[in-house]
A = this chain, B = another copy of it.
C-alpha cells in the first residue's frame, strides 16, 4: 500500500538495534521530506563501511583498511610496556578523549556472558597473554565495564595473567563517585568503593 521504495527504507532501517517499525517509519518519512543529499550521504557512507574498516591484528582495534596495524600501537610515542584492556573497540575512544593515557590498547571483543553464549575462548585473551611477553609489558590496566560480565572477565584475566607472569602489575580503573552525582543517588557499591579508596586532599 505504501510506495514500495518507502516501504524498503522502513524495512531496512528497522534492522538497526532498538528501531521498531514506528521509529523506522519516522526516520523514512523524515528522510523523504528532507533534502535528498541526506539520504544519499547515508547510503554512500554505509556502502563503504565494511570494505574500509578492518580490525588491527595485534590490538583488535578498528582501523582504516589501508593501515596494517592500529596507529595507536604503531606510534613510537606510545608506551608499549602498558596495555589497557577494553571490551569493545569504541571504548578506546572514550579513553583517548581523556588525553590521560599514553600506552597501547587491547580489545577483548566483548565480555564473558554465559547468557549470550560468550565464553572466554571467544575473546582475544590468548593474544593479550602473548603480547605481554612480546612487548615486554610491565602493566596491564583492566578497563572492562563495571557490569557482572565485565567484572567476571576482569577476575579471569587477572588470574590467567598472574599465573603466567607473577611479576606483572595488574590494575583496574578506580571505582568512586562520578562527577555531578550527589551522595544520595550513588549506589551502595560505588559509595563503598569511594569510601575504601578515599584519597588524601
In the bound assembly, the distance between CA atoms of A134 and B101 in angstroms comes to 73
CA of A51 to CA of B65, assembled, Å? 32
Size class of A's contact patch? 35 or more
**Chain B CB within 8 A of A17 CB:** yes
Instruction: Give Cα A76 to B42, complex, Å.
Output: 40
Cβ 8 A contact of A5, one of B5, B48, B88: B48
Partner of A3, one of B27, B36, B63: B63
Quote the shortest CB–CB distance from A62 to chain B (angstroms): 5
Binding-face segment, A8-16, A153-161, A165-173: A8-16
Instruction: Please tell me if the beta carbons of B64 and A3 are within 8 angstroms of each other in the complex.
Output: yes
Assembly CA distance A25 to B90 (angstroms): 8
Contacts of A4 in B (CB 8 A): 52, 64
Q: Does A43 contact B (CB under 8 A)?
A: yes
A49 touches B93 (CB 8 A): no
Hey, which bits of chain A sit against chain B, CB under 8 A? Answer: 1-6, 8-9, 11-13, 15-18, 25-32, 34, 36, 38-53, 62-65, 88-90, 93, 96
